Amino acid sequence: MNENTLHYRTLLLLLIGVSLAFIWIMLPYYGAIFWAVCLAIVFSPMQRRLQARFKLRRNLTSLITLGLCLIIAILPVIITTALLIQQGTSLYQGIESGQIDIASYVTHFKQALPTFAERFLDRMGVGNLVGLQDKVTNGAMQGSQAVATQAFSFGQGTLDFVISFFIMLYLLFFFLRDGADLARRVRNAIPMDEHQKRQLQLKFNRVIRATVKGNILMALVQGALGGVIFWVVGIPSVLLWAVSMAFLSLLPAVGAGVVWAPVAIWLLATGQMWQGVVLGLFGTFVIGLVDNVLRPVLVGKDTKMPDYLVLLSTLGGLAVFGINGFVIGPLIAALFMSCWGLFTSDRRKVKLPS
């Protein structure tokens, strides 16, 4: 082993060790860093347009873009989360105190069912009225308790949240201002072919924009439409239902129909005919069509992944990374496919000896 090789290997080991140590100390705020990167990718075109149109300094255009990002994307999420926690806590307290009688709703629903539906419930093992009441009540209690628990956890972790929030804003400003230079430095440090590095960077940016800008906006539209129609037909706890529909609409092959369709059936079964018909028609022809109309426009073919892979990567990401996983999961899956695509294309270029 010559001296140059020894120096190179020593430097490489030092680089790996220092990099792992750096990642370790950044882990407590990985969510803040990740969302700063995501929002910078989504809003950087706005910052560039402001700079090109008004000929302003990068510091000023980055600050303006940061303010717009705060108004458009961040504050609505914080306000909605606070209202959701408040409503979930109130629902849990109402069920626990008996003000909301789930058992009476279940009784009324089962009595309104036709004979064949009752027989079907009996075959499914939920025909016993007491057992069915217990299952529905326990499910409602667990769901509302989960939201109430999150409210308690949020209160305990307020300081950590505030620190992470301001770290995200601080980093977002610099990523908006210097993002192109930082991306260029990272790309130059990776020992790969320039075309491959460029392709991976484009894939990374496209998946982030498709997931954050496209899927989230589509989910917000579906959740808002669902909340409005629930309010019109008189369903209580509108915000909880709206957030549930928005969240489920992020998952391919699931969608908001998992929420509004059973509620429409319940309204029809309990004799609230016009409410059930209106909810069913609105859910089918308005909420349902939003996915078919908005998804191609907002998301397009940027992810280039089959729906089953998007679903599995989203669920896996949520299980591993929590709420951040609905972006991290599809991103890892997309980069996985891209890396294997680059690897197989390189192997095809290698000429095997005859």
pLDDT tens for each residue of 258-267: 888 888 888 8
- Evaluate whether 240 touches 84 at the Cβ level (below 8 Å): yes
pLDDT averaged over every residue in the chain: 78
Domain count across the chain = 2
Model confidence at 19: pLDDT above 80: yes
Give the tens place of pLDDT for each residue, 44-60.
Answer: 999 989 888 887 788 89
My answer on whether 42 and 157 are in the same domain is yes
Per-residue pLDDT of 293-304, as tens digits, reads 776 666 555 566
pLDDT in tens, 314-333: 889 888 888 788 888 888 88
| pLDDT confidence of residue 301 | 55
Instruction: Please check whether residue 84 lies inside any domain of the structure.
Output: yes
Domain check: are 155 and 219 in the same one? Answer: no
Q: Is residue 5 part of a domain?
A: no
% of the chain exceeding 90 in pLDDT: 16
Please count the helices (runs of H) and the strands (runs of E) in the chain: 16, 0
Domain shared by 42 and 177, yes or no: yes
Which of 165, 189, 213 lies at the terminal end of a domain, its last residue? 189
Q: How far apart (Å, rounded) are the C-alpha atoms in residues 335 and 204?
A: 7
Q: Are 332 and 213 found together in one domain? A: yes
Q: For residues 59 and 204, state if they share a domain.
A: no
- Per-residue model confidence (pLDDT) at position 118: 60
Contact yes or no for 144/95 (Cβ under 8 A): yes
- Greater pLDDT, 197 or 132: 197
Residues in contact with 138: Cβ distance below 8 Å, sequence separation at least 6, in sequence order: none
Among the three residues 134, 168, 189, which one is the final residue of a domain in this structure? 189
Could you tell me which residue, 20 or 162, shows the higher pLDDT?
Answer: 20
> What pTM does this model have?
0.75
Residues 150 and 201 reside in one and the same domain: no
Same-domain pairing of 200 and 168: no
Q: Are residues 204 and 179 in the same domain?
A: no
| Predicted pLDDT of residue 282 | 92
| Residue 256 near residue 249 (C-beta atoms within 8 A) | yes
Full domain range(s) for residue 322 = 193-345
Asked if residue 151 and residue 199 are part of one domain, the reply reads no
Q: How confident is the model at residue 24 (pLDDT cuts 50, 70, 90)?
A: very high
The per-residue pLDDT for 129 is: 47
The reply to whether 229 and 157 lie within a common domain is no
**Per the domain annotation, does 1 fall within a domain?**
no
Indicate if 59 and 102 belong to the same structural domain. Answer: yes
- Give the CA count within 13 Å in the CB-facing half-sphere of 307: 8
Q: Given this model, what pLDDT does residue 109 score?
A: 62
Q: Exposed/middle/buried for 67, CB within 10 Å: 0-12, 13-18, 19+?
A: exposed
pLDDT digit string, tens, across residues 279-288? 999 988 888 8
pLDDT band at 107 (very low <50, low <70, confident <90, very high): low
pLDDT for the residue 166: 92
Is 64 within a domain? yes
Long-range contacts of 265-274 (CB under 8 A, 24+ apart): 266/109, 267/233, 269/109, 269/112, 269/113, 269/117, 270/108, 270/109, 270/112, 271/112, 272/233
Residue 229 forms part of a structural domain: yes
Q: Which two tokens stand for residue 116?
A: 């064949």
pLDDT digits (tens, 9 = 90+) for 239-253: 888 888 888 887 766
Instruction: Please tell me the predicted confidence (pLDDT) of residue 255.
Output: 78
Asked if residue 292 is part of any domain, the answer here is: yes
pLDDT at 194 over 90: no
Is 7 inside a domain boundary?
A: no
Residues 108 and 49 in one domain: yes
Picking from 169, 189, 209, the residue at the C-terminal end of a domain is: 189
Question: If you write DSSP's letter for every residue of 16-59 in order, what string do you get?
Answer: HHHHHHHHHHHGGGHHHHHHHHHHHHHHHHHHHHHHHHH---HH
- In this structure, what DSSP letter does residue 351 have? P
Residue 14 lies in a domain: no
The average pLDDT across 187-213 equals 82
